Amino acid sequence: MRRTSYTMDGFCLLYLLLILLMRSGDVETNPGPDTAESTVSEMEFLKLAHAIPPSYYDAVGISLGIPSAQIQAILIQMSNNYSNAFLRVFMKWKVKQQPPHSNRRQLLADALREIDLGGLSDRLLNEPLIPNSTGGPSRLLESQTKPPSAESQTKPLSPELIEWCANDFKFKYRSTLCKIRADPLNPASIVQFDDMYTNLVLLEEHGTEKRVLDYNDMLDLKVNGEFPKRIMVQGEAGAGKTTFCAKIAWDWIEARHFSHFVWVLIVPLREFKQHTIGEIAKSYLAKNNPATVSQIIEYIRSNPDKVFIAFDGLDEVKGKIMKTKSCESQPTDQMQLQPSQPSVASSEACGSSSDEIGLVEILCSDQLASCPVLVTTRPWRAVEIRSDGDLMKLYTFIRVEGFNRENLSDYIHKYFPKNDDKANQLIQFTSENDVISENMAHYPIYVAMLCLMWKELDEQKLKKMKSLTSFSQIFKEMITFLKEHYAQKMVKKVGSPSLLSYLNKIDELLGPIAKQALNGLLENTLIFGEDDFQICPESKETACRVGILSQEDRITTSMDIHKRNSHVQLPVFFPHKLFQEYMAGVHLASLYESDRNEFNRLIELVVLPRKEEFRYLLYFTVSQNKGIATHVLNSMLQGLDIDVGIESPFNVGSAFGSLQYTDVGREISFIVDVAFESQDPDVATLVKDRVSSEAITLTISRNMTAHTVAGYAFIGPHVVSLCIKRNCGPTMSLDVAEIICSMPSLKEVFLLSAFHHCFFETLARKGKESKVSGSSTILMYE
């Protein structure tokens, strides 16, 4: 009896031990068939945990049947280390009760495929191997770090499936990318591509020169006799870079151009943060298209000359381009700007997923070297490639300049198809105000805004609109217009106290939106989820109704990964990055009063060190009030070494000497641009006194933007010698004439350009006031 009792006690102890082990995840309750085809090794789980992006964490756990509360508890236990949390989730799933004789490998693969991780799913099924006797990884896991070989088991796409994919891509572009908003703020104002598309001015860089490139001749570009494999398309904010990509897609669809490519892939890089190129391409396909991510990638690798890839928005991707800097060690100055969102790890930016092609490797031509790739970006982001001599040789550089006068007229007439008088009045307004014409009318986003206001505003407000001269003024006017337009739908009586009260309420509700705009800008986030606004849902709804935010009203294929979550995340975004930058400027300016320490930190440690990237944020911030503008300009001027080459923003021996834009000259011109946006005379005086000396020569050349020229006219530095080497429209001609007539230090003027007749009229009327007299000269050249 005693022995039997001992046995029962031992059995109970063993049973208790098994229960504890099962709860800790170390014993399977129903291991099923123990074969390589049906089981998944712990090393494979480990590699999967490192390969899956953190943004998939909830989706993976829920797809494996782990309750949401447990998923979050595991993440907290792992101190928000996603790789460790993924591994714990996999091990928890491994010990869960499964159907008898189930194939765990197949179950896991199916779960991964359901959440759009088809590439990893395919590899899990196609390349299993039992771990070797030393515990080394299987071939599946080794392939994570090796490019596909001829022995790859990914089944190639059939010709029929290749064509099916092409047709799906075309359908995707027809239904989304290639539709243009007539009103950039109204998602419902969609028109067909040809109804609104207007040609853009393209310039090809040829050595140190730029020459006009007709879009129809783009495919005739040659580098040593061949079409370039890497094309960098630069353009300022709103110049039409995304529309340029849409034009490529449209012409491929219509077989006008690019028809010799089997596939044209347009990849918005803002989506590359959460998805890979293969996953984005897969998301364009119809639900019943059986092509997998692995097959798509394999086709691109095997047929690089048959695929044209356009990456849109390199400036919207964080991290370094240079492989040695981005993949080997993530720089700390990039990481410190990512406060809390873990969705983009450095490994993702480098493309370390098992069957993907890394963005960095493509840009550096380490991958797909024979595949033609076009990349659009704001100019500041191209500097990294330009600064590397070897990498720069791989690229052909093109600039999107937006509209010329002919294109502008064409676009405005398309906007007012039934009202030629209205269209002609706006065209005349832009032609008579060359600050508007040269600073804004080149950019489709501004033209669309001008058209919208021209259509809606009354005569009194149109008169005010005609006085606009800066980017900040037109955006402020646009935001005011949007708020009033919406408020008047709710409160009909114009000018009533109730309307003013409602407008104040809108301003309050937009406060959290401005804060989120700045946070997103610093994180380089342009697409938000609904959860980003969960503490201010009324603010989000109001911003969408006003037109400052937009939200998708439907679920897209690329969002299927969220279907198994507790609720669907519909993307929320600003109509254009410039709107986000303006709202961010509003919030940054508000910190000047509410949290001066944080304001100073952001200006000194974040914005000014990356001022080219945050140019428009600076513009919109200093435009808010005089105190902020004075503070920011003082900070910018403190870091300027005035004593080096200050005699001119250009390094010139004489007005006819060799013109070379110096580093100091670029710094001064940038400061002048920011000061001009303030539109404050005291700020202008501050800059004038700081950058001037007794012998400054100001040369206005063809390389100087109209915005900068207007800035110098606004500041009026102490100039002794003035040389004009660019043609001037009405406003600029008037500004130059006023400078000549009113600047007391001016001794000589060299005019090597054409002027509007108002220039000569002003000289005739005010010429006697000019200090350019006696031995001083005004030299004019045809």
Tokens matching residue 563: 């279907």
Report for 362-376, 519-533, 686-700: range of highest mean pLDDT: 362-376
Calculate the CA 97 to chain-centre distance. 46
Banded pLDDT at 162 (limits 50, 70, 90): very high
Give 309-352 pLDDT, tens digit per residue: 999 988 887 777 665 433 343 333 322 222 223 333 333 333 33
Q: 353, 356, 351: which is closest to 296 by C-alpha?
A: 356
- What is the C-alpha separation between 580 and 575, in angstroms, rounded? 8
Q: 635, 380, 619, 617: which is closest to 514 by C-alpha?
A: 617
Banded pLDDT at 6 (limits 50, 70, 90): very low
Cβ atoms of 71 and 62 within 8 Å: the answer is yes
Task: For the chain, give the mean pLDDT.
Answer: 77
DSSP string, 279-338: HHHHHTS-TT----HHHHHHHHHH-GGGEEEEEE-GGGS-S-SSHHHHTS---HHHHTT-
- What is the C-alpha separation between 605 and 37, in angstroms, rounded? 54
Q: What are phi and psi of 265, to 5 degrees?
A: -110, 120
Is residue 537's pLDDT more than 60?
yes
Q: What are phi and psi of 342, to 5 degrees?
A: -95, 15
| Total Cβ atoms within 10 A of residue 206 | 11
**Taking the domain 31-145, which CATH number applies?**
1.10.533.10
- What is the C-alpha separation between 512 and 603, in angstroms, rounded? 20
| Candidate from 37-51, 316-330, 483-497 with smallest mean pLDDT | 316-330
Tokens matching residue 413: 């007439």
- What is the C-alpha separation between 553 and 157, in angstroms, rounded? 34
- 491 vs 157, 231, 508, 520, 610, CA distance in Å? 60, 52, 17, 33, 43
Give 410-435 pLDDT, tens digit per residue: 989 988 988 999 899 888 888 777 66
Give residues with Cβ within 8 angstroms of 354, minimum separation 6. 51, 119, 120, 123, 140, 143, 144
Q: Which residue has the tokens 């356009």?
A: 310
Give residues with Cβ within 8 angstroms of 332, minimum separation 6. none
Give residues with Cβ within 8 angstroms of 131, minimum separation 6. 41, 43, 137, 138
- What is the C-alpha separation between 671 and 642, in angstroms, rounded? 12
- What is the C-alpha separation between 227 and 225, in angstroms, rounded? 7
Partners of residue 719 on adjacent β-strands: 696
Partners of residue 409 on adjacent β-strands: none
Cβ atoms of 487 and 502 within 8 Å: the answer is yes
Report for 23-32, 148-157, 565-574, 622-631: range of highest mean pLDDT: 622-631
Q: Which residues of 730-740 are buried (b: 16+ CB within 10 A; e: fewer)?
A: bbbbbbbbbbb
Q: Which fold has domain 159-336+343-402?
A: Rossmann fold (3.40.50)
- What is the C-alpha separation between 42 and 45, in angstroms, rounded? 5
Instruction: Answer left, alpha or beta for residue 351, where phi above 0 means left and psi between -120 and 50 means alpha.
Output: left
Banded pLDDT at 777 (limits 50, 70, 90): low
As a dihedral over the C-alpha atoms of residue 403, residue 409, residue 414, residue 418, rounded to 10 degrees, the angle is 160
The 3 state secondary structure assigned to 324-361 is HHHCCCCCHHHHCCCCCCCCCCHHHHCCCCCCCCCHHH
Is residue 152's pLDDT more than 80?
no
Q: What are phi and psi of 211, to 5 degrees?
A: -130, 145
Q: 50, 34, 31, 37: which is closest to 129 by C-alpha?
A: 37
- What is the C-alpha separation between 578 and 620, in angstroms, rounded? 10
- What is the C-alpha separation between 330 and 352, in angstroms, rounded? 14
Q: What pLDDT, on the 0 to 100 scale, is given for residue 132?
A: 37
Cβ atoms of 708 and 661 within 8 Å: the answer is no
Q: Which residue has the tokens 């045809």?
A: 782
Cβ atoms of 447 and 440 within 8 Å: the answer is yes
Banded pLDDT at 308 (limits 50, 70, 90): very high
Q: Which residues of 334-353 are buried (b: 16+ CB within 10 A; e: fewer)?
A: beeebeeeebbbbbbbbbbb
Q: H helices of 67-126, where?
A: 68-77, 82-94, 104-114, 118-126
DSSP string, 723-742: EE-S---HHHHHHHHHHHHH
The structural domains of the chain, with segments of one domain joined by +, span 31-145, 159-336+343-402, 486-622, 625-780
Please write down the long-range contacts of 416-419, taking CB distance under 8 Å and 24 or more positions apart.
416/451, 416/455
The 3 state secondary structure assigned to 150-199 is CCCCCCCCCHHHHHHHHHHHHHHHHHHHCEEECCCCCCCCEEEHHHHCCC
Give 278-289 pLDDT, tens digit per residue: 888 998 999 889
At 527, is the secondary structure helix, strand, or coil? Answer: strand
Calculate the CA 195 to chain-centre distance. 26
Instruction: Give the distance between the most distant pair of CA atoms in the chain.
Output: 130
- What is the C-alpha separation between 258 and 228, in angstroms, rounded? 14
Amino acid 645 reads G
- What is the C-alpha separation between 288 and 168, in angstroms, rounded? 11
- What is the C-alpha separation between 498 and 506, in angstroms, rounded? 12
Give residues with Cβ within 8 angstroms of 60, minimum separation 6. 52, 86, 89, 111, 112, 115, 117
Report for 54-58, 240-244, 316-320: range of highest mean pLDDT: 240-244
Is residue 200's pLDDT more than 70?
yes
Q: What pLDDT, on the 0 to 100 scale, is given for residue 689?
A: 85
Q: What are phi and psi of 180, to 5 degrees?
A: -110, 140
Q: 11, 30, 183: which is closest to 98 by C-alpha?
A: 30
Give residues with Cβ within 8 angstroms of 687, minimum separation 6. 633, 637, 671, 672, 675, 715, 717
Share above pLDDT 70 across residues of the chain, in percent, rounded to a whole number: 77
Q: 371, 298, 44: which is closest to 148 by C-alpha?
A: 298
Banded pLDDT at 97 (limits 50, 70, 90): low
Give 616-659 pLDDT, tens digit per residue: 999 999 999 999 999 999 999 987 765 443 334 443 333 333 33
Give 169-184 pLDDT, tens digit per residue: 999 998 888 887 766 6
